[in-house]
């Protein structure tokens, strides 16, 4: 029996979870005196490399530190440190697909021997999808065959780029100084064109401003962002997973006292890092039978995970937090939110997302400015099955009343939609003995409720067209009460 086979690669549903913690640190251009007046310490990780080797996962990138001190005025210091780590992971092979995320914890500034250092614990969590290569039957002569089709991810290619968001806007007061500014990227769309990657979203710019009159004002401005970069061999059907991070920002201010306004020019450098997946539709034979001969079929269960798209969505999570302070304290401004932990749990109807965050706000306690971190428990629910690629807080709001600080914020999620599928593929077919000739004029089949048209044809040894023509009343799914009839011509000689 002539058989044609084709070798294909795909990613199995077998998932391997990876979690690791490592400390990263870098030297800061600060004096020992300045290090004693730290108001804010923050760190943002940016993944640039994720790959699998034999029994290991390698990941690398950069952590960007921001430290604000309050000695002789507010001073912002930034520094970055590159990292590259590998974690041992059994059953992982070179070429497997890894989808991971990096967060930081325990950010602190220390002084030793006159050297000021910023450090943090880098937490990396990832899921590995194993790559498998098999030869599937796609042609089989002399038999009736059942074809199956499954979308499969080809080996992903890495994507990395930088883009500067430029924007000029006006504020309705005179700026004496920008004491602190924080930028966060909020992606709304990631798509593929012909030979290009298209990323849309906005940069949320939060500024702590000292006005000409001496007051403190927090001003938030969302800067629109659209990036279209070249990427060879990318098609509109490609699936792109991207993480974005602010790698640097410069602000320039022009104030006009006569109009009581100021103009801010912002230049924000955004880094993109991700993977581009090409989707190929696998076509293979999942079952076969012959009217003339018995067939001995070697079937194997075929499992795969389909990544059907990467999208971004904003959700209003249940994010309430409060902290007891002095009764007469007043709010100056909220600064930023840091996600401390993210936990997910799948349910039959979706995904539960919850964790812990900390919101940093500036308050006035009896005329003294203080920076306060408010712990927040957040939770939300997604009505779909997906992997959470990235969680970015935005739209922070805070209030102070009766000696309590309350905060709320939104979560901007980057989701990798997934779907697990299982079917059967033929890997080998052997031709058995000839089938005995059925010389009856009529064959009647009593189907089961779960039987399909293919099951009926296989039981009767008939073609699909023949069964449907002789039984036009059939409706699928079957109830189990049907009688399926096949008529044959009888040779009377």
Q: What is the SS3 assignment for 483?
A: coil
Q: Which of 140, 461, 463, 133 is nearest to 297 (CA)?
A: 140
Please classify residue 76 by burial: count the beta carbons closer than 10 Å to its beta carbon, then call 0-12 exposed, 13-18 middle and 19+ buried: middle
> What distance in Å separates the CA atoms of residue 66 and residue 104, rounded to the nearest whole number?
13
Instruction: Tell me the mean pLDDT per 10 residues along the chain, length 493.
Output: 61 74 94 87 85 92 88 81 93 84 88 93 87 76 83 72 94 89 85 90 89 84 93 82 84 92 95 80 84 84 70 74 74 76 79 86 74 85 75 83 83 77 81 79 86 88 87 88 82 58
**What is the model's pLDDT at position 367?**
66
Domain ranges for the chain: 8-138, 317-414, 438-493
Could you give the CA distance from residue 412 to residue 421 in angstroms, rounded to a whole number? Answer: 29
Residue 75 burial (CB < 10 Å; 0-12/13-18/19+)? Answer: middle
The whole-angstrom separation of Cα 359 and Cα 297 is 61
**Please, is 467 exposed, middle or buried when counting C-beta atoms within 10 Å of its C-beta (0-12, 13-18, 19+)?**
buried
Q: Which two tokens stand for residue 374?
A: 């408010």
State the pLDDT at residue 141: 82
Q: Cβ atoms within 10 A of the Cβ of 421, count?
A: 13
Q: Among all chains, which residue has been given the structure tokens 């408010």?
A: 374
State the DSSP code for 436: P
CATH architecture of the domain formed by 438-493 = Roll (3.10)
Q: For the beta carbon of residue 77, count every other beta carbon within 10 angstroms.
A: 19
- Smallest CA-to-CA distance from 159 within 82, 57, 50 is with 50
The three-class DSSP label of residue 112 is: strand
Q: Which of 114, 294, 100, 276 is nearest to 198 (CA)?
A: 276
DSSP label of 54: T
- The span from the CA of 129 to the CA of 16, in Å, is 7
Q: Which residues are 117's β-sheet partners?
A: 27, 110
Token pair in block for residue 182: 């924080």
What gap in Å lies between CA 287 and CA 141, rounded to an integer? Answer: 13
- In DSSP notation, 286-332 reads EEEE-SSEEEEEEEEEEEEEEEEEEEEEEE----BEEEE--TT-EEE
Predicted TM-score of the model (pTM):
0.66
Please give the span between the terminal C-alpha atoms of the chain, in angstroms, as a whole number.
32
Q: Which of 235, 378, 384 is nearest to 311 (CA)?
A: 384
What does the alpha-carbon distance between residue 91 and residue 88 come to, in Å, rounded to a whole number?
10
Q: What is the pLDDT of residue 60?
A: 92
DSSP at 441? S
Would you state the torsion angle of the CA atoms of residues 65, 70, 76, 80, taken in this order, to the nearest 10 degrees?
-20
**Cβ atoms of residues 107 and 45 within 8 Å:** no
DSSP per-residue codes, 96-153: -EEEEEEEEEEEEEEEETTEEEEEEEEEEEEEEEEEEEEEEEEEETTSEEEEEEEEEE
How much is the pLDDT for 11?
63
Question: Which pLDDT value is given to residue 85?
Answer: 95
Residue with tokens 């990467």: 310
260 SS3 class:
coil
pLDDT of residue 6: 65
């Amino acid at each position: 029996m002539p058989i044609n086979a084709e070798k294909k690669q795909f990613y199995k549903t077998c998932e391997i979870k990876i979690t690791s913690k490592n400390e990263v640190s870098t030297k800061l251009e600060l004096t020992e005196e300045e290090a004693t007046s730290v108001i804010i310490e923050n760190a943002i990780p940016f993944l640039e490399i994720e790959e699998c080797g034999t029994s290991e996962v390698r990941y690398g990138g950069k952590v960007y530190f921001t430290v604000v001190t309050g000695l002789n005025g507010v001073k912002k210091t930034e520094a970055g440190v590159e990292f590259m780590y590998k974690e041992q992971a059994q059953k992982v092979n070179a070429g497997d697909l890894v989808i991971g995320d990096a967060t930081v914890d325990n950010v602190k500034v220390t002084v030793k021997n006159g050297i000021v250092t910023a450090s943090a614990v880098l937490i990396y969590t990832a899921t590995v999808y194993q790559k498998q290569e098999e030869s599937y039957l796609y042609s089989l002569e002399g038999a009736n065959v059942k074809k199956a089709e499954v979308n499969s991810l080809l080996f992903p290619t890495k994507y990395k780029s930088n883009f500067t968001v430029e924007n000029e806007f006006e504020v309705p007061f005179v700026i004496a100084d920008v004491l602190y500014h924080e930028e966060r990227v909020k992606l709304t769309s990631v798509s593929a064109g012909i030979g290009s990657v298209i990323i849309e979203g906005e940069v949320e710019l939060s500024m702590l401003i000292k006005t000409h009159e001496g007051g403190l004002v927090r001003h938030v401005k969302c800067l629109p962002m659209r990036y279209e970069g070249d990427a060879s061999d990318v098609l509109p059907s490609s699936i792109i997973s991207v993480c974005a991070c602010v790698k640097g920002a410069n602000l320039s201010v022009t104030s006009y006292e006569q109009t009581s306004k100021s103009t801010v020019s912002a230049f924000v450098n955004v880094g993109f890092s991700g993977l581009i997946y090409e989707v190929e539709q696998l076509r293979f034979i999942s079952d076969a039978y012959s009217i003339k001969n018995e067939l001995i079929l070697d079937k194997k269960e075929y499992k795969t995970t389909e990544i059907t798209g990467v999208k971004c969505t904003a959700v209003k999570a249940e994010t309430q937090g409060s902290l007891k302070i002095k009764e007469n304290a007043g709010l100056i401004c909220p600064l930023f939110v840091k996600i401390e932990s993210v936990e997910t749990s799948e349910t039959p109807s979706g995904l539960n997302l919850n964790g812990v965050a900390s919101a940093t706000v500036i308050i006035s306690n009896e005329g003294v400015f203080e920076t306060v971190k408010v712990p927040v428990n957040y939770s939300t629910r997604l009505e779909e099955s997906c992997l959470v690629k990235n969680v970015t807080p935005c739209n922070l709001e805070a209030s102070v009343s009766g000696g309590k600080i309350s905060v709320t914020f939104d979560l901007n999620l980057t989701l990798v939609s997934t779907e697990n599928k299982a079917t059967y593929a033929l890997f080998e077919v052997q031709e058995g003995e000839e089938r005995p000739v059925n010389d009856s004029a009529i064959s009647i089949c009593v189907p089961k409720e779960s039987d399909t048209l293919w099951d009926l044809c296989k039981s009767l040894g008939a073609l699909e067209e023949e069964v449907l023509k002789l039984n036009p009343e059939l409706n699928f799914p079957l109830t189990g009460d049907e009688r399926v009839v096949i008529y044959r011509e009888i040779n009377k000689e």
